[in-house]
């Protein structure tokens, strides 16, 4: 994974914390200049200053709420003069509760951020990559993408979209020398996991740096990567041993347990 293969600039959404911040650190260490996008301007500025000093790279900050169409347009306009060769769609949101306890507006915001924003960014930057005949795209999916999951039904569905969409465009873009990867981690120590209570469960959240490292290692070698041994086991057992109905039931039991303070 290097700038010669993909291009000099990487754009990372949701870069102010968690996996997005880890992606920013890893790509900067590999020599990429960065466009980092998130809502928290202070965190973005602090990260930019740190990475520019540590790795002698250039970085641009874009403060944006990617559920807002105008903010997405601002991202596209702000990067018009750059050769963005690596696009990492990391920003995401999760509504954890009984489906009807979450407003329809919140569910739609989840679709806007998890589905519509990556689609628009890929359409824009992907067209430029096709012209240049090189590029890389990473989309964050999830281990919950492989079946329906109670209590995060809408979120799991958006992650299924990320997975299937990535596989499809990977096949389309491969002839243009563009690598596309879907990353399907399980529980990870990010802001999204703040509502979970893992006491009394066998689950230990993955570290964001581990997920980012596994993703960048897999880019160009795989179309889907599943970070973590437990997640690989869950995928394999769900694919070869259990029915889809049983998978949904078992995942629902897990989320009912870790969300017991919310439900």
pLDDT digits (tens, 9 = 90+) for 22-75: 999 999 999 999 999 999 999 999 999 999 999 999 999 999 999 999 999 999
What are the sequence ranges of the domains in the chain?
A: 3-258
Is residue 155 part of the annotated active site? The answer reads yes
- DSSP-derived secondary structure for 90-153: -------S-GGGS-HHHHHHHHIIIIIHHHHHHHHHHHHHHHHT-EEEEEE--GGGGS--TTSH
Q: Say how far apart CA 39 and CA 16 lie, in whole Å.
A: 8
Structure tokens at 96: 């954890």
Given 6, 151, 155, 161, the catalytic residue: 155
Q: DSSP letter for 100, please.
A: G
Residue 11 has pLDDT above 80, yes or no: yes
* For residues 137-160, average pLDDT: 97
The domain 3-258 having CATH identifier 3.40.50.720: the answer here is yes
- pLDDT-derived band at 195, boundaries 50, 70, 90: confident
Confidence of residue 2 (pLDDT cuts 50, 70, 90): confident
* pLDDT at site 262: 85
């Amino acid at each position: 994974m290097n700038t010669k293969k993909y291009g000099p600039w990487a754009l990372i959404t949701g870069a102010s914390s968690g996996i997005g911040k880890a992606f920013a650190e890893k790509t900067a260490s590999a020599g990429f200049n960065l466009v980092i996008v998130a809502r928290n301007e202070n965190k973005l500025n602090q990260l930019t200053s740190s990475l520019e000093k540590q790795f002698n790279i250039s970085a641009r900050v874009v403060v944006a709420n990617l559920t807002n169409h105008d903010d997405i347009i601002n991202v596209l306009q702000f990067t018009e003069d750059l050769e963005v060769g690596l696009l990492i769609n990391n920003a995401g949101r999760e509504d954890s509760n009984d489906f009807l306890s979450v407003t329809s507006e919140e569910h739609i915001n989840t679709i806007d951020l998890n589905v519509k924003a990556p689609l628009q960014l890929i359409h824009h930057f992907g067209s430029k990559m096709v012209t240049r005949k090189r590029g890389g795209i990473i989309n964050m999916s999830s281990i919950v993408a492989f079946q329906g999951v109670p209590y995060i039904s809408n979120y799991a569905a958006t992650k299924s979209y990320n997975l299937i969409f990535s596989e499809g465009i990977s096949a389309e873009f491969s002839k243009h020398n563009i690598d596309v990867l879907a990353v399907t981690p399980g529980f990870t120590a990010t802001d999204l996991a703040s509502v979970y209570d893992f006491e009394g469960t066998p689950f230990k959240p993955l570290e964001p740096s581990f997920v980012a490292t596994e993703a960048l290692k897999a880019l160009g070698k795989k179309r889907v990567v599943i970070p973590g041994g437990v997640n690989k086991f869950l995928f394999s057992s769900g694919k070869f041993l259990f029915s889809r109905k049983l998978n949904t039931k078992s995942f629902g039991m897990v989320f009912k347990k870790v969300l017991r303070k919310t439900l």
